[in-house]
Amino acid sequence: MFEKLKGYRVEGNKVYFQYEGENTGKNPCEKNPCEKNPCGKEPCVEVISDSIINVFADYNGLGHRSRAIEWDAQKGNDTSENAKSGKLETVSQDESGVTIKTKKLTAVVGDNFRVDFYDNNGMPLSLAFRGERKERPAISPMMLAFLAKEGHASAGSILGDYPVQEVRALDDADCIYGLGDKTGFLNKRHYMYEMWNTDNPNPQEDNFKALYKSIPFMLVLKEKGAYGIFFDNHSKTYFDMGKEGEEYYVLGAEEGNLDYYFIGGEGLKDVVADYTWLTGRAPMQQLWTLGFHQSRWGYETEEEIRGIAEGMKKHELPCDCIHFDIDYMDSFKVFTWNKETYKDGGKVISDFKDMGIKAVTIIDPGVKVEKDYYVYEEGMENGYFAKTPEGEVYVNEVWPGDAVFPDFGNPKVRTWWGEKQKYLVDLGVAGVWNDMNEPASFRGPLPDDIVFTDEDMAAPHSQMHNIYGHNMAKATYEGWKKLTGKRPFVITRACYGGSQKYTTGWTGDNHSIWAHLRMAIPQLCNMGLSGMSFVGTDVGGFGSDCTPELFARWIQVGCFSPLFRDHAAKGTRMQEPWQFGEEILSISRKYINLRYELLPYIYDLMHECEMSGMPMMRPLVLEYDKDENVKNRNDEFMLGDRILVAPVVEQGAREKLVYLPEGTWYDYWTGEKVEGKSSFIRKAPLDLCPIYVKAGAVIPKYPVRMHVGEDKDDLLILEVYPGEGTYTHYQDNGENFDYHQGGFNTYEIHNHDGQVEVKKQHDGYRDYGKIEVRKSAAFEK
Ligand code: MIG
């Protein structure tokens, strides 16, 4: 379509290009005929910051319609770096094309709208692919039909050539990370994925192409340098990460625009910082959200769920939250309470509150079709539900039976949905868990042409699907913020790039199988690299029956996952920590206690995430991206930059092969010193998860408590390790937005081999009752 480059013009930070053949060839927008700007006339390269460049071809004539980048919403949430904005420094043209320079990057735009990116030393970061694409052997229609008989439906997929596409070169050493919530391993190279929010309850395998969330963002770690590409097209997109051919990857879509952000950096951290600057950073949550959460689908009565709270106390298990799954609703109608089985909602919740336990309730999008049901009636009166192309309200089936789907892309619907939250707020609920918002449906998927609203215009389901959960979470977040003034706690199953501004997430319906415990590590780490820092898996596994050993090992991973929630499906083996006998109960207590000790450390990481975008839970490669040994490491992870966790994720294993990157480390349990860049075997009986702490570290801790609000003399413990180190500790009220107005303290802490100096840096909140320095076991060795 774009052939020979004819010319260009500069407008501020944008450069527009004129091509021969602009209006010829394949029309990428057959689905939505072009009006204003046919076939990407005058594609554009725009400098967003010194290290971010947008590449854009306006195929549908609608301009950028990003739902991930919302500069206004992003203001309050990232402070220091908001000032950063780039400038186009120079534009020049020679035979290779038009060269655009910023302070950090060079883009060269040539024929066929090929864009190459270099750092400012002339080192190529990412080049358009120029070779021949590989065609795989075609299969005859007859053979295809034959194969389909045994269920090989996807056999015979041939070369993926998409109306909207970008094909870029891969170097041999390149590793690919990110892509949000995907199955499989940390490094996504050689695999193929789709971005289409999908509820598929089958046990997820490495070869699944899509799960509930679509975050079309990839990071490429090169032998030297790193970059990211955010393909901001929220229709169904395809990410062939070197499956079709070894030397290139393909980003494709059937509709929407070619609209991607290139982020260049020296290392992965630069790319994560820039991506989260571009799409917004996960803000601080309330402190209690970092506590332990207990949940289950199928606590059928008020007595049963009360028994869970009592069980926590009886077994001396710290707990901050119990989740109310769909069982609490009247006939699965959202914003109602089942008075028969769950009695007086306000009473249970306030009794829980007296025990120091918060309630989070599930809310699905599907609204039951029922005359006189207020949510349905209000929505019908105002035209708030999605419609068929013929203008009828669209009905499909979900939990309540026939249900209709709120049109969350309409700002009025979001406001309404936000106001509906008052029902929960008034009951004393502390947060909302959004499920089924892919949206999922029982009578087949929603057809592509169901009509939704995209802010100020109608848009089909095919374009609104991937941002449905995002918009629902946004509505929920904004409603809670207005109603409570506190940091809204929203957990979502489906989302899109940028959703981290509004919501935390969990990975949906995993199973109680070892493969899924193993998968949890790369899955959560890649979500963190994709902006979603506050995430967790269902500890113990959702579907299938958990075993005592699996539970013990899973709680050891959950302990370090940002969202630490035990959850299981109706009909599976009971899965509270006391269901597996004394040994497993005491292992659970040990790790839940450890979690409560680590709260101030994890809280610091949550603050760091809001400031810099760095995820709380991280793959080793984020910290050590020059270390070949960690580029494909799936079975270890880090919590921040100084705690390394090497959990056992194999059934029967009582040893773990541990790798530590460069530097000096200390065994958390024994204090033993280990030099990094080495592998060794650590004994790991069932009650032991190998943990290593970096030399010079200061780890802020709290005394164990039964819930975060419990008074423990307001004591902060600074656990120190041999070596030299500095650390910044952050403290605020853990609840509202006062910290955006300076209501916080920071402490700069210097550790000189156990001699500790604490200096208050920012003084905007009350002091701790007491700060105590404790030397870790490493000093005794
Ligand atoms: O189709 O609300 O992923 O966590 O317990 C099942 C019942 C619907 C799916 C969620 C799961 C939740 C369950 N839900």
Over residues 215-243, the pLDDT tens digits come to: 999 999 999 999 999 999 999 999 999 99
> What's the 362 CA to ligand 1 centre distance in angstroms?
9
Residue nearest to atom 1 of ligand 1 (CA): 436
Residue nearest to atom 5 of ligand 1 (CA): 297
**Atom of ligand 1 at shortest range from CA of 201:** 1
> What's the 509 CA to ligand 1 centre distance in angstroms?
7
Cβ(509) – ligand 1 distance below 6 Å:
yes
Cβ(299) – ligand 1 distance below 6 Å:
no
What sign results for the dihedral spanned by CA atoms 440, 526, 220, 41?
positive
> What's the 493 CA to ligand 1 centre distance in angstroms?
10
pLDDT in tens, 182-219: 999 999 999 999 999 999 999 999 999 999 999 999 99
Which of 331, 362, 364, 432 should be mutated for ligand 1, with most atoms under 8 A from CB? Answer: 362
For 243-299, strand residue ranges (E) read 248-253, 258-265, 292-294
pLDDT in tens, 671-703: 999 999 999 999 999 999 999 999 999 999 999
Residue of 156, 245, 228, 232 lying closest to 192 (CA atoms): 245
pLDDT of 146 reads 82
pLDDT of 84 > 90? The answer is no
Poorest-pLDDT segment among 87-91, 300-304, 321-325, 603-607 = 87-91
**Atom of ligand 1 at shortest range from CA of 433:** 4
Structure tokens at 173: 């050493």
pLDDT of 150 reads 79
Residue of 416, 419, 427, 263 lying closest to 337 (CA atoms): 427
How far apart, in whole angstroms, are the C-alpha atoms of residue 761 and residue 570? 50
How far apart, in whole angstroms, are the C-alpha atoms of residue 525 and residue 1? 39
pLDDT of 154 reads 56
Which of 181, 295, 325 should be mutated for ligand 1, with most atoms under 8 A from CB? Answer: 325
Residue nearest to atom 2 of ligand 1 (CA): 326
> What's the 461 CA to ligand 1 centre distance in angstroms?
23
Which of 200, 294, 297 should be mutated for ligand 1, with most atoms under 8 A from CB? Answer: 297
pLDDT of 21 reads 79
The set of catalytic residues is 435, 438, 509
**Atom of ligand 1 at shortest range from CA of 362:** 2
Residue nearest to atom 13 of ligand 1 (CA): 297
> What's the 567 CA to ligand 1 centre distance in angstroms?
10
pLDDT in tens, 709-752: 998 889 999 999 999 999 999 999 999 999 999 999 999 999 99
How far apart, in whole angstroms, are the C-alpha atoms of residue 280 and residue 283? 9
Cβ(325) – ligand 1 distance below 6 Å:
yes
Contact (Cβ atoms closer than 8 angstroms) between residue 698 and residue 719: yes
Confidence of residue 386 (pLDDT cuts 50, 70, 90): very high
**Which pTM value belongs to this model?**
0.96
pLDDT of 382 reads 98
> What's the 438 CA to ligand 1 centre distance in angstroms?
12
pLDDT of 713 reads 85
pLDDT of 403 reads 98
pLDDT of 148 reads 78
CA distances to 398, 440, 447, 463 from 444, in Å: 11, 9, 8, 18
CA distances to 41, 276, 296, 529, 642 from 71, in Å: 26, 12, 38, 21, 33
pLDDT of 23 reads 53
pLDDT of 729 reads 98
What sign results for the dihedral spanned by CA atoms 726, 732, 734, 736?
negative
Cβ(362) – ligand 1 distance below 6 Å:
yes
Residue nearest to atom 12 of ligand 1 (CA): 297
pLDDT in tens, 512-524: 999 999 999 999 9
Cβ(297) – ligand 1 distance below 6 Å:
yes
Q: What is the DSSP string of 196-219?
A: ------SPP-TT----S-B--EEE
pLDDT in tens, 262-281: 999 999 999 999 999 999 99
pLDDT in tens, 311-352: 999 999 999 999 999 999 999 999 999 999 999 999 999 999
pLDDT of 171 reads 98
Contact (Cβ atoms closer than 8 angstroms) between residue 632 and residue 186: yes
User: Average pLDDT of 578-597?
Assistant: 98
How does the average pLDDT of the chain come out, rounded? Answer: 94
> What's the 689 CA to ligand 1 centre distance in angstroms?
29
User: Average pLDDT of 400-415?
Assistant: 98
**Atom of ligand 1 at shortest range from CA of 326:** 2
